Amino acid sequence: MKKLTINRRSFIKGMGFVAGSVAIGSYGSLVPNASAAGKGFVEKRQASVYNADAKVYKIRKSQDNPMVKKIYDHKDGFLHDGPCGHMSHRLLHTHYIDRSARVKNLKEKGFKFLI
């Protein structure tokens, strides 16, 4: 008897297909009012989350945070050259490194990636 092997990506694709077909198949049997009620629930939930955040968090924007202002202070701040300055760019930004050539070389040598 032949053994069936499946990798993780194929399994996830298959389960996504099954879940999608179940959701689409059951959509026709839903009552139209249920969709409207769900939308109303989502709107109420969003409003309650925003209201709760407004009560708990006094500082809602990073540019209003006193610690961030202190870091960027022009006199004695660590990143005194400003938010778009050389030091902040060097320390806080990432850079893309293309590694596709190395992966291609490894595949040519026979390495197999289980992704």
Check if the beta carbon of residue 68 is closer than 8 Å to that of residue 62: yes
The winner for highest mean pLDDT among 18-32, 35-49, 52-66, 98-112 is 98-112
State pLDDT tens for residues 95-109.
Answer: 889 989 999 999 999
State pLDDT tens for residues 46-64.
Answer: 899 888 888 888 887 888 8
Taking the CB of residue 76, how many other CB atoms lie within 10 A of it?
Answer: 7
For residue 71, what are its two tokens? 């870091």
Between CA 85 and CA 74 the distance in angstroms is: 11
Check if the beta carbon of residue 79 is closer than 8 Å to that of residue 91: yes
What pLDDT was estimated at residue 110?
92
- What is the pTM (predicted TM-score) of this model? 0.37
Between CA 59 and CA 2 the distance in angstroms is: 62
For residue 64, what are its two tokens? 């209003």
